[in-house]
Structure 1
């Protein structure tokens, strides 16, 4: 998928979900796995671009970082609505601990969302000097959750 198509998809997703972001998101059990995997895929692509620029693997483009961080922040809570009881069956890498240690999972999700929020706040204000460390914090929070709750 090209960067332009990914950006359009991300912006469309954000606009389509803007109303849902202000209300409780309810995901049917039968759709939960696809919902959360799609949301995580989008987040991974957005963060991959930001982190690539932060690490110097991709040429820095501040406008792209701002746009990607804003969309990432807007959708950061979405995948965590995709874990209703009973959605542990099927083609998923989700560990049973997501449901058996729900409070721990919610805390990990909150920490990831907080790290993403800090990254977005900084780049929205044009503060790129800490991009590498802020991106590292997001990466650490994602890895922590993956290590604990993903097979």
Structure 2
């Protein structure tokens, strides 16, 4: 009988084989524990933090020539793109490659109150640091009680 062949084999092996096939077609899916985790696996990894004065964006881009990075800010959308070149040796066989190579592009939505005219970017030790100041009008102001 047909159903016996499926029951006789280990069902978890069947699911594992199906998962590997799906990963090969669509890429590995991260386990999603939150909506923000859906972006896990994006390259390059990025941290965004903010204070009352500014927004700090840290882009972990080791092995990328900083001169090849294209960074643009339009309204509150920060776009950065670039390319990490694969450096391979002649007559060498690669058995495992976990590092991302090729072109990339990320778009981040920053808070609405940023000042797109006050932006700085620096690259050090494989980390691109972009600082975007907030507009003066929206910064909190201390009001003295008389």
Judge same fold: TM > 0.5, yes or no: no
Q: Over alpha carbons, which structure has the higher Rg?
A: 2
- Report 1 or 2 for greater relative contact order, CA contacts < 8 Å, sequence distance ≥ 6: 1
Give the structure with the higher percent strand: 2
